[in-house]
Amino acid sequence: MVQPSGREAKLTLTWAGARRLATFTLPMALLTIASLLIVPALIKADGGAAWGSIALGQSLGTIGSVVVAYGWQTSGPALVAMGDTRTRRTVFFDSVRLRLALYLPVAAASGALAAGFAHQRTDLAVAGAVTTVGIGLTSGWFFVGMAQPSGLLWFETVPRVTGTAAGIGWMYAGGSALEGLLCQFGGMLLAAAVSCVAVHRATRSGSPATRSTLRQVARAHRHGLGATVTTNVSAAAPLVLVSLIAPSLQPAYALIDKLQRQITVGLTPLNSLLQGWVPRGPTPFARIASASKLIASMAVPLLGGVTVAMPFLVRWLGNSQISVSPWVYPLAGSIVALAFTQLCLSNAVLSTLQRLDTVSRATAVGAVVGLPLTALGATISIEATLGGVVAGLVVRVTMSSIAVRRELRRNALRAEAAATPERIPQP
């Protein structure tokens, strides 16, 4: 594939590009703010120990939500961006059928695991798991692939934020944490229903002639599932390890984990923009190179920004009941910077290159390195625990970066070979 030259191949922040980034930012910002604001409401409703149980359940539920989503948030945007109306409709409604079939068994398994791991308030741990699995039913990835931030806002974000806001208000009015979680879950279900109606109306001219079986759909998208499951299991495992090994550290670690996750979610507008931009066009390699440079340039500013912001966020969201040492803040900043770098490399770059197997492999190796260090760290301190998480992320980002660089090098060699005129042997 020959690498194109010229202005089209470069990622430039024109006014139109900046405006699109801003419109992608609004939905993610609203979700992030709502997800952060519900934390002090949950702590106020039932206390810090109850929050620790909820956080444990949500961590396990996050893994379940990834199984239910079945990798479409990773592979889906590229398929939607490159497909026609029929392809888009097929991809979306195939995903809906499979996700609905998966929800109940996955939610039951996640709730059972949460009940087994929780040391107290088992009911809230189960509720946190079961409701969080519902994230897998939402379909924001479709609007990312369509490069339609307005659809992401109105059909996904507004229903979810409304449910979360209702839960926050209910808890401050005297309601329980369980009731607040149920309100948040109602918002997720509403978003899933509204998105189905919107996509049906927008793509009804592209109804497929035949419909694949669920087994066929599951088999076709198994690589996306493998990449996302390994990623999210690695992300959720440290909190489970802390809960088992050092329960006294759980409330503080759960707060730091929640903060770094929500900050990363808040940064996903750029990831969403890249997911819809990189795959478009017949020759994406120049876009991949430009996107990779942009992703790398953001690491140090993210590290510094999160380090500075963390003390204020911990005091606010901890409701003055949870405190940590200053050494935690740069470690949390490192986790955010590395996790966001890996997110963009996986979803925008390696997905376009159809190398999701690399994502799974890098995540597995990172887990082999990072999780034992995290478990060892949990016996020492919260700082040592976070250090183990950082070590695993460094391995993942390094392996993914090497894979991208290798693919870009291969493309450059192909372009060079294509540009070299073939010599005609002299008689």
With the C-alpha atoms ordered 194, 199, 204, 209, is the resulting torsion angle positive or negative? Answer: negative
pLDDT at residue 108 in the model: 97
pLDDT at residue 370 in the model: 94
Cβ atoms of 187 and 316 within 8 Å: the answer is no
Most confident of 189-193, 213-217, 347-351, 407-411: 189-193
How many separate domains does the chain show? Answer: 1
Residue 424: inside a domain, yes or no?
no
For every residue of 22-91, DSSP letters joined together read HHHHHHHHHHHHHHHHHHHHHHHHH-HHHHHHHHHHHHHHHHHHHHHHTTHHHHHHHHHHH--HHHHHHH
Instruction: Quickly tell me which residue has 């801003």 as its tokens.
Output: 22
pLDDT tier, 61 (very low <50, low <70, confident <90, very high otherwise): very high
pLDDT at residue 14 in the model: 53
Q: State the Cα–Cα distance between residues 26 and 149, nearest whole angstrom.
A: 9
pLDDT tier, 73 (very low <50, low <70, confident <90, very high otherwise): confident
Cβ atoms of 136 and 124 within 8 Å: the answer is no
Residue 74: inside a domain, yes or no?
yes
Residue 81: inside a domain, yes or no?
yes
Residue 272: inside a domain, yes or no?
yes
Residue 298: inside a domain, yes or no?
yes
What's the whole-number mean pLDDT along residues 343-351?
Answer: 89
Higher local confidence (pLDDT), 172 or 322? 172
User: What's this model's pTM, rounded to 2 decimal places?
Assistant: 0.75
What are all long-range contacts of 313-321, with beta carbons under 8 Å and residues at least 24 apart? 313/36, 313/259, 314/255, 314/256, 314/259, 316/40, 317/36, 317/39, 317/40, 317/255, 317/258, 317/259, 318/40, 318/43, 318/255, 319/40, 319/43, 319/44, 319/48, 321/43, 321/48
Q: State the Cα–Cα distance between residues 77 and 352, nearest whole angstrom.
A: 10
- Containing 204, the helix (H) or strand (E) segment is none
What is the DSSP secondary structure assignment for residue 6, as one 8-state letter? S
**pLDDT tens-digit readout, 206-229:** 776 568 889 999 988 776 787 788
**pLDDT tens-digit readout, 108-165:** 999 999 999 988 899 999 999 999 999 999 999 999 888 888 899 999 999 999 999 9
Q: Chain-wide mean pLDDT for the chain?
A: 87
Cβ atoms of 66 and 135 within 8 Å: the answer is no
Residue 2: inside a domain, yes or no?
no
The residue range of the domain holding 165 is 7-419
